[in-house]
Amino acid sequence: MARKFFVGGNFKMNGTAQSITDIIANLNTATLDPTTETVIAPPALYLLLARSLADPKIALASQNVFDKPNGAFTGELSVDQLKDAKIEWTLVGHSERRVILKENDEFVARKTKAALDGGIGAILCIGESLEEREGGKTLDVVTRQLNAVAEQLSPAEWAKVVIAYEPIWAIGTGKVATTEQAQEVHATIRKWLGEKVSAAAAENTRIIYGGSVTEKNCRELAKQPDVDGFLVGGASLKPAFVEIINARL
């Protein structure tokens, strides 16, 4: 079974009701490659608006979710609430949350498990800092981040996980990983899936790249055998996001 190409737009803490309405209007009228699974992640405040506006072929993702079912957790969102709002995916472990909000590997793993238990897919973000890359620790870091998740999930549960490799030094910097750098890490992640999870997970799990993806660099990256799509930040706010969704046309 071929892996379906997956392109996510992470709007981060950007946008207004008007600008998000405009972005979605553009996506609704554009011709999108039907073989790409397209997902957008606006700020939580706008998820319901976005779901009501977006064509059904575009899925919605939350940028975050909490690991507890419901209750006294001020400021958090539960998996049940996302389900109720017809949000099919959530990001977990974005580096901006790991670094700024101090989310550790174990917490990210618990959120991943909670999402899957509640019937929401998880876009699991992993990636190394510049210091870790320069220290030759990239593969150790991504493996450590993945091992924490593997402790919480059964092999079958990986079917609802998309792994987003996002080197921190490439996020929002305009400094995209080279095709070789991306392919090397993606191939290592796939090998890890085969060894730690199952042959089926290695074959079927989408591993997408994030970090300064634009309409200019997406086509070369998309040709790499282990690059199954993208998680796009800044460029997902622009009309050129359509070109990234259509990177293989």
Binding segment (CB under 6 A) for ligand 13P, from list 18-26, 32-40, 198-206, 210-218: 210-218
The yes or no reply on residue 166 touching ligand 13P (CB under 6 A) is yes
The yes or no reply on residue 127 touching ligand 13P (CB under 6 A) is no
**From the CB of 48, what's the least distance to ligand 13P, in Å?**
22
Nearer to ligand 13P, 111 or 202 (CB): 111
3-state secondary structure the chain: CCCCEEEEEECCCCCCHHHHHHHHHHHHHCCCCCCEEEEEECCHHHHHHHHHHCCCCEEEEECCCCCCCCCCCCCCCCHHHHHHCCCCEEEECCHHHHHHCCCCHHHHHHHHHHHHHCCCEEEEEECCCHHHHHCCCHHHHHHHHHHHHHCCCCHHHHHHEEEEECCHHHCCCCCCCCHHHHHHHHHHHHHHHHHHHCHHHHHHCCEEEECCCCCCCHHHHHCCCCCCEEEECHHHHCCCHHHHHCCCC
Residue of 54, 171, 189, 218 that binds ligand 13P (CB under 6 A):
171
Nearer to ligand 13P, 121 or 234 (CB): 234
- Residues catalogued as catalytic: 94, 166
Residue of 60, 213, 218, 222 that binds ligand 13P (CB under 6 A):
213
**From the CB of 72, what's the least distance to ligand 13P, in Å?**
30
Which residues form the interface with ligand 13P (CB under 6 A)? 10, 94, 166, 171-172, 210-213, 231-235
